[in-house]
Homo-oligomer: A and B are copies of this chain.
Amino acid sequence: MANFTVNWGIVGPGGIAHRFADAITVVDGASLQAVASRDQHRADAFAQKWNPPTAYGSYEQIVDDERVDAVYIATPHRFHHENTRMCLEAGKHVLCEKPITVNARDAESLFGLARDRGLFLMEGMWTVFLPVYRQVREWLDDGAIGDVHLMTSTFGFVVPRNLTGRMLNPALAGGAILDMGVYNTAISRWVVGRRPDSVVARAILGETGVDELTSVSLQFGAETVSQFTTTMLCQTINDFTIYGSDGHIRIHPNFWEAGVATLSQGDHIADVQRPVRHNGFEYQIEEAMRCIDRGLTESPVMPPVATMDTMETMDQIRTRIGLSYSFE
């Protein structure tokens, strides 16, 4: 990637944007050009920490900035669709936080737009780019655990009862499945490389109407099931285990940011350490830049079909548990 540079803009200076800005500092050729918030004070505060040349008080301004090549969308997912659309229409490449949108229909329209404009668009499913996941992929491809029959995983935390915050507020597309379960859904899909044929789910809907616990079972073909629970009601162990006919792979907690996996083949058990280089976000940034450099509109590692499979699965999960949002 020598000499190739990408000037990044960030839309939405929340917690995850800090992590992104931090990762940019270790990626060759990446620079932070601008940050934008609807609130100039928040943009300024973010800029004070990460020193982009410009801090904008509106999203319109950042997409008009010709020095910005690509935008990282870090707003609550309720707004991903409109924010990403605005960036693409202004000719910017986009890396959008997951879930890319609230539903599959919106995601499809964004990928169509990116293709039409010849722009790169990827959902920020950073987990699949982590070194430990490359090791897991190797094990799976080598048949180290035989035929995959079962996956089990959890993603749960005790979420503070802030009813208007993004986790619990239906106006912000709150709920466990979209915010956390997107990882279990996406990694299940990533393991088998295809969309589930059947989706079963149940949920505990809380006082605001969003899912505070969702238990899901996905079936892929005739031979493989993924079973997981995501919840805001309890701290779960948060590992991801892949069981095959000849052994199993356990991705250690927290699986979405893991640096360790265990391969068990009968009595032969091997722990593999694959720590991230910095904070883990650097790999997805490098992937985006590699694709942009090559003029690709999609990543071969995290292509639109992977995102669409996950979004359609989450649509089905929400249908099963009776969760829709008034703005949809």
Contact = CB atoms under 8 A, between A and B. Distances in A.
A40 B225 CA distance: 45
Contact of A204 (B154, B200, B223): B223
Interface in A121-158: 149-150, 152, 154, 156, 158
Contact of A243 (B150, B156, B245, B248): B156
Contacts of A149: 204, 213, 231, 233-234
A202 interface: yes
Measured as residues with beta carbon below 8 angstroms from the partner, the interface class of chain A is: 20 to 34
Contacts of A231: 149-150, 243
A227 B225 contact: no
A233 B150 contact: yes
Interface string A255-299: 000000000000000000000000000000000000000000000
Contacts of A208: none
A188 interface: no
Contact of A248 (B152, B204, B217, B237): B237
Interface in A205-257: 213, 215, 217, 219, 222-223, 225, 227, 229, 231, 233-237, 241, 243-245, 247-248, 250
Contacts of A237: 241, 248, 250
Given A152-B229, A225-B204, A229-B225, A243 B247 contact: no
Nearest to A225: B215
A154 B243 CA distance: 11
B198 A202 contact: yes
Contact of A233 (B156, B235, B245, B247): B245
Contact of A219 (B202, B225, B245): B202
Most buried by B among A198, A223, A237: A237
A150 B229 CA distance: 9
B227 A234 contact: no
Given A154-B152, A156-B150, A248-B236, A225 B243 contact: no
Given A152-B152, A243-B234, A215 B202 contact: no
A198 B227 CA distance: 17
A140 to B, nearest CB: 14
A200 B245 CA distance: 25
14 contacts: A149-B213, A149-B233, A150-B154, A150-B156, A150-B213, A150-B229, A200-B202, A204-B223, A204-B225, A215-B225, A234-B248, A236-B241, A236-B243, A237-B248
Given A198-B202, A231-B243, 11 more contacts: A150-B229, A152-B229, A200-B200, A200-B217, A215-B217, A225-B229, A234-B244, A234-B245, A234-B248, A235-B247, A236-B243
